[in-house]
Each structure stands twice: as C-alpha cells, then as structure tokens.
Chains A and B, each alone.
Chain A
Amino acid sequence: MALELSGVEKTVAGRPHIHRTDLRLEKGTMNVLLGATLSGKTTLMRLMAGLEAPSVGRILWDGRDVTGMRVQDRNVAMVYQQFINYPSMSVYDNIASPLMLTRRPRAEIDRAVRATAEMLQLTPLLQRRPLELSGGQQQRCALARALVKGAGLVLLDEPLANLDYKLREELRQEIPKIFEASGAIFVYATTEPEEALLLGGRTATLWQGRVTQFGPTPDVYRRPKDAITARVFSDPPMNFLEVVKTGGRLRFADPTHGGGAGGGGGADQLVFAAMAGLADGPYTLGFRANHLRLSDPGPGALRFATRVAVTEITGSETFVHLDHGPSRWVALVHGVRDLAPGAAQPAFVDPAQVYAFGPDGALAATAAYATAA
C-alpha cells in the first residue's frame, strides 16, 4: 500500500502554491514535512487528504487514481494544531464518533475505543468532556479520534505547536510508538528540525512550495542536496561563507580583520581534501553551529577571525553569535562561556564537517564526517 503524488502542482489565482512534486509514501512509514510557515506544508497535506484537488497531476492510492475522490470516501484522518474535539461530548463519545458513522456493532466500537484510549493513556478520562482536560490531554483525544478508525493515511499538521514545552517533549516521544503500532502512513508537518530528527522516519524538506529533498531523516540532515535544504534543516541556522577556489587556495572576503589574528586568520586558506577535486570558481561553504568551535580542534582546521556579537547560555551549552564580515554565524559550544560582545574571537571548523555548495546552490562536496556516519 502506498500513497503516490505524481507530477502534482497546485496553482491558486495564478500563483503557484505547490510546484511540480513527485512523492511516494510507503505503508507503515513516518513521513515528516519540514519547512517554515507558508512553505506549502499544509497545502501539500490538503492535497494528500483530498480536501483540495491538484491543478495538475494525479494522486494514486495503491496505484489507483483517487485524484477526484471525495475526502469522505478516502479513509484519511487529520489532526490539527488547534485541539479540535466535540465540546459537548465525553472523551469516549469523541473517540467513538468516527466509528458511529460506519454502523459497526456496538461491542466492536467499544473495543476499538477502549484499545485506542489505552494506547493514548486516556482510559481514566473517558467520561470527561474535552474542555475539562489539559491541552496535552485534549490533543491526545484528537489523536485518538484520528487513530480509532484505522485510517490508512493519518495527517498531523503541527499537532504539538500549541502545547507547553514539556508536554510536547512527552507526546513527541510517544507519537513514533503509536505510529509503529498502527501501521498506517503517517504524515507529520513541523517547522522544527529537531522535531523531525526525533520522529525519525523519512523527511521531505519544503521551501517556497517546492520539495527540495525527500529521504531517510538522518540522511537528509547529514547529506543535504543543496544549500536550501541545509538551511531548512538546521536550527540554529547553518553558517555560510562565500569562497573562491583558485588552484590550491580558497579565497574569501574578510573585511573585519587585516592582521593581528595570526598567520591562519588571513583571507585565504589551503584547499581541504574534499574540495581538492573541484573545478576553480566560486563556492559557498556551509557548516552547522555545533561544528563551529572556539578552540583549535587540531591540525588542518579552518581558522577564521571573528568578533563576538551576543552569547546565549542554555545551561549545558552556549550559543555564541559571531560576526564574520557581513555574515552572522552561530557557534554551539559545550559548557558556559560568557564572552564580551565586540571581542575578537578566533573560530575553527574541521574541514570534515564542511559542506561545499556550487553557485547554483547544489551540493558540490559533502562533509566527510557524514559519509562516514
């Protein structure tokens, strides 16, 4: 069983909302749609659900064309960011509501409701009304309603966005377990890279109505196909540096400091191994915040002269915001560092953790550590 989007496009009033998209979601997989607000996640979900028809292209369910089929006939379930339950019904009746329409025998419905409630830890709350529950419990109730009818496709549109941090953490851990038990195709939209990583499965990154990459989540994270995917899948944002490769040297603009920062802090560096085979020309180097260091990790490291802008301490780690010429970088370092703003600070990157993107944004050389992992 699989859901397939084949050459799907969506245009509303002359504006493309979804560019040509081909996706194949397999049975029993968790699929994350990762992208900023308005990147097209919700539209894509609505197309999958059949709430909207594509302008071009077909939607296939098990190879059968369901493009024009009504939502009611499609066996899909959807959970929204808002906690949507029937306020006047008990939790039990809420969960049972999708089954009531199917005219199944009472006993069977009862069994399904109780099993689903058990899975979502709602059993003690079955007789309560949704508004008497906490936000987390309300969303569990909505999840139970989506799961109870055994839909083949379950769509979750930022279901945890309105929850408190700790509740979110708790449910985020549970959702993959629930999903393993149900065997349906799950599609989960989120704006947070960390959420995508925690959920695992496969991730499609979205940018301005385009799916930029689709594959196993850690793969997309470590081997982004282009600079946009890398940007979408990094929080804090990925650090970028424009360089020009000429022969064995990498030249880059370094307006902040001329001298003083020592030999390695100049405006050019030796080309590192991964880039050695590339043609001369302009490239964009990208590296994540946790790979940008404040102390020299050893020989071969790239070294940059930067200035401290702001530091943010999170307890175990510190985000150090650094200015390198016109670009603002973030370094995520272990321990507590309180650095004075404006102070000069050398920063280091292990070349094995650097991605090189060509002028068109496509990946030219992948970070060596990613291929090893």
Chain B
Amino acid sequence: MAKITLDALAHSYLPHPKADRDYALKQLNHVWADGEAYALLGASGCGKTTLLNIISGLLTPSRGRILFNDRDVTQTSTAERNIAQVFQFPVVYDTMTVRANLAFPLKNRGAPAAYVAQRVQQIARMIGLEDMLERKARGLTADAKQKISLGRGMVREDVNAILFDEPLTVIDPQMKWELRTQLRALHREFGHTMIYVTHDQTEALTFADKVVVMHDGRVVQIGTPQELFETPEHTFVGYFIGSPGMNLLPATVAGDEARVGDSRVALGARYGALSGKVEIGVRPEFLRLNGVGAGLPVQVIRIEDVGRHKIVRARLDGHEINIVAPEGDQIAPGAAHVEADPRRVNVYVDDWRVQGEAA
C-alpha cells in the first residue's frame, strides 16, 4: 500500500510539445493518500487513461516524476511497481481453472502453497465464486470472468495500488450494483489504495472517497462526492456531475444578490465587484417550483417522469433550465415560479467558482 505523489507531471504524445494544447495531460501536482479510493472521472479524451497508464508504468511521462511512498518510480517497469490492474474487458487465462487464475499472481511470486490456498479461498468467497473454483475460466459468462479479473486484482495483499480501468463496462446494470458494493466492501476490508477510471458519474461517486474530475487534460477538481455536488469548482464539474447537470445562468452580481434578466436571486454570501463572464449555477435538485408566485418566473415546457422523481424542463428568460421535483408532485406545463435555496447558489467568473464572504 502506498501514498502516490504526482510531482509536476505532464505528458504529451508529441515528440516536441510546445504549446499547452500539445499536452494530453497538463502539469499536475497532487498527493494521493495511502488507503483511499480515488476515481478519475471525465469524458473520453480528457486524459484520464493517460494518467492511469503513467501510474501503471505503461507510459513514461514527458515531464515530472511519480512517487510511490517516497520512492521515485518514474522509470520503473510495470512489474516492479507492484500494482494490480483490472481492465475494461475481462482478462482471464482461459485454459486455467478459476482457482488457478486467482492463484496465478501469488504463485508467480513464490508464495507458500498453504497461504495461496487460504487466500484464494478467501477471495473467492468475497467475489462469490466459491462453487466455481474447479471450473475452467473459458465458457463462463462475462460477469463471472470480470469477477475473476477483480479477484486476481485483489488477491495480493501487499500491492501498492489497485487500478481499475472502467471495469464495469461489460456488466449488466443489475449486476453492477452487486459488483460495486463488493468493491466497496473489499476496500473497507483490505484498505488498498484504489484508483478507478470511469466516465460514469454514478460509478465514480459511489465508489470513491475522493473523485478527481478531469477535463481537457486538466484536473478541475478533487473532492468528496458531496463537495463536487454542492460546490463545483468549475462549471464543467457542475455540468458533468449530476443528471441533469447544474443550471448555469448569466447574471450580474452585487453584494448578496444576483440579477438574472429582470429577476433577483438571493445569494448565500456577499461578493465584491466581479469582472469577466459572470454566471450563477444552481443544481436542479436545489430548485423548487411553487404555486404562490414567489421567485423567478419560468415557463414549464415538459415534465419527464423518471420514477423516483420528475425532471421539469423549463425556460427562464430565454435559457433552458431543469428542475427536479418530488415523485408525487402534480405539475402542468405553463407559467410557474421557481425558488432557489440561497446557500446552494454558486457564483462563477470565467467558469471558475468564486468564494463569497459570509453574509
């Protein structure tokens, strides 16, 4: 188990990068704590796979260093880094039994037979493959094969980190639940440092202690799921996390009040003079429709019933906004008013959040 330090790390796939945009991964300085579960979240092409490959040793970064605990491993090979990795598609040794698959990483390192047997049994129980141990891996379902891959990743106790590269892509939604909770439980039990790459916000938020949101080769925010949800540091985080994403409205801000078109929105903090592109961001979950005519006037266009709640699509002063309403609410298209929780309204200048002073 290890603390992972990214020291002035940057990577370009070009031989002689010049401008900032030549870098697939822009300069990073981070320390990831030992035993935490991290998720790298972003759209495809945001650099998350590049970063994972640098950590696993598949890629040597163009600049900077990577340290496991305090040892520089920038030039060390994958095998020497003592990590485990689970891939997007199940990687199993087809001709071996499930047991042999799970035992493989231990046997290759010369672990004593008694320990191997006991450890394989323990892992098999955790991933629910105990009664399949003697079967050949070939011909098992994709779910079961991916469980073997997960198990092989977990089987060594002394690994520095376990890396997951979108491991639930091939799994059915119902099974995703099971595997994700198993991963959580395994993390609690063994306390490995885990890094999980995904484009799926639900997977990232539910899996990780800390989510690393990446956009265009840059880390835009590292935070707990709650922080990402309540105080997105960048408009991209607001858009990317949450379904639907955060509503963004151009506004002018003065003191503890914002003006959107002709309407006023109360803010939870005071702000000084702001220059640049000023916007306010409110999550659909923190907007409430009301029937008494208080708040911002909106035009409700469509109501989508997604079961546990309703998504209301509405227009406010020419901008499309989304509101999340409770399951039982009766809502009809047409004119309505919407109120925002002042403490949940964030202010952005040129896409980055500005911190207000307590009002």
B binding-site residues for A, Cβ under 8 Å: 43-44, 172-174, 177, 180-181, 184-185, 188, 199-202, 205-207, 224-226, 228-230, 239-245, 283, 285, 304-308, 311, 327-328
Task: Please name all residues of chain A whose beta carbon is closer than 8 Å to the beta carbon of B202 when the two chains form the complex.
Answer: 314
8 Å CB contact of B172 from A36, A198, A313? A36
Indicate whether A164 sits within 8 Å of B43 (C-beta atoms), given known contacts A194-B306, A221-B307, A313-B206.
yes
| A332–B206 alpha-carbon span in the complex (Å) | 12
Chain A contacts for B205, CB-based, 8 A: 312-315
A169-B243 in contact (CB<8A): yes
Partner pick for A312 among B44, B180, B241, B327, CB 8 A cutoff: B180
From the candidates B43, B177, B285, name the one contacting A316 in the complex (CB within 8 A).
B285
Our pick among A165, A193, A312, A330 for the contact of B201 (Cβ within 8 Å) is A165
Tell me whether A218 and B308 are in contact in the complex, defined as CB-CB below 8 angstroms, given that A164-B199, A312-B180, A336-B226 are known contacts: no
Our count of residue pairs bridging A and B at CB distance below 8 angstroms stands at 96
Known A191-B173, A309-B181, A310-B184; contact A135-B308, beta-carbon cutoff 8 A: no
29 contacts between A and B (CB under 8 A): A36-B174, A164-B43, A191-B173, A197-B304, A198-B304, A198-B311, A200-B304, A200-B305, A218-B305, A221-B307, A235-B173, A235-B177, A236-B177, A237-B174, A237-B177, A290-B307, A290-B308, A312-B181, A313-B205, A313-B225, A314-B202, A315-B225, A315-B230, A316-B229, A316-B285, A336-B226, A341-B185, A341-B188, A369-B328
Cβ of A103 < 8 Å from any Cβ of B? no
Instruction: Report the minimal beta-carbon distance from A203 to chain B, rounded to whole angstroms.
Output: 12
Interface pair B181/A198, CB less than 8 Å apart: no
| Interface status of A15 (Cβ within 8 A of chain B) | no
- Docked complex Cα distance between A166 and B173 (Å): 17
Q: How far is the CB of A1 from chain B (nearest CB, A)?
A: 26
Q: Determine whether the beta carbon of A319 is less than 8 Å from that of B206.
A: yes
A294-321 interface code vs B (CB 8 A; 1 in, 0 out) = 0000000000000001101111100101
3 tightest CB-CB pairs across the interface, nearest first?
A315-B229, A312-B206, A290-B308
Whole-angstrom CA separation of A336 from B200 in the bound complex: 19
Is there a chain B Cβ closer than 8 Å to A293's Cβ? no
Q: Are the CB atoms of A165 and B200 closer together than 8 Å?
A: yes
A210–B185 Cα distance when bound, in Å, is 35
Take A166-B240, A237-B174 as given contacts and tell me if A315 and B181 are in contact as well, using a CB distance cutoff of 8 Å.
Answer: no
Do the beta carbons of B226 and A315 come within 8 Å of each other? yes
The residues of A that contact B43 with a CB separation of less than 8 Å are 164, 166-167
By a CB distance below 8 angstroms, the chain B residues around A166 are 43, 199, 239-240, 245
Q: Does A107 contact B (CB under 8 A)?
A: no
A37 within 8 A of B: yes
In the complex, whether A41 has a CB less than 8 A from a CB of chain B is no
Q: Does A52 contact B (CB under 8 A)?
A: no
A200 to B244, CA, bound (A): 17
- A279 contacts the other chain (CB 8 A): no
| Contact, CB under 8 Å: B226 / A197 | no
A192-B173 CB under 8 A given contacts A165-B199, A200-B304:
yes
Contact of B228 among A169, A312, A315, A341 (CB under 8 A): A315
When distances are taken between beta carbons in the complex, the residues of chain B under 8 Å from A237 are 174, 177
- Across the interface, which residues of B come within 8 angstroms of A288, CB to CB? 307-308
CA distance A237 to B176 in the complex (A): 11
20 further A-B contacts with Cβ under 8 Å, apart from A235-B173, A290-B307, A373-B328, are A36-B172, A36-B174, A37-B172, A167-B43, A169-B243, A191-B173, A197-B305, A197-B307, A198-B304, A235-B177, A237-B174, A309-B181, A312-B181, A312-B184, A312-B205, A312-B207, A313-B226, A314-B201, A315-B225, A316-B229
Are A191 and B306 in touch, CB under 8 angstroms? Answer: no
A43 to B187, CA, bound (A): 40
B181 lies within 8 A of A235 (CB): no
Q: Give A213-243 interface residues, CB cut-off 8 Å to B.
A: 218, 221, 235-237
A residues 162-179 near B (Cβ < 8 Å) are 164-167, 169
Which A35-50 residues have a C-beta within 8 angstroms of B? 36-37
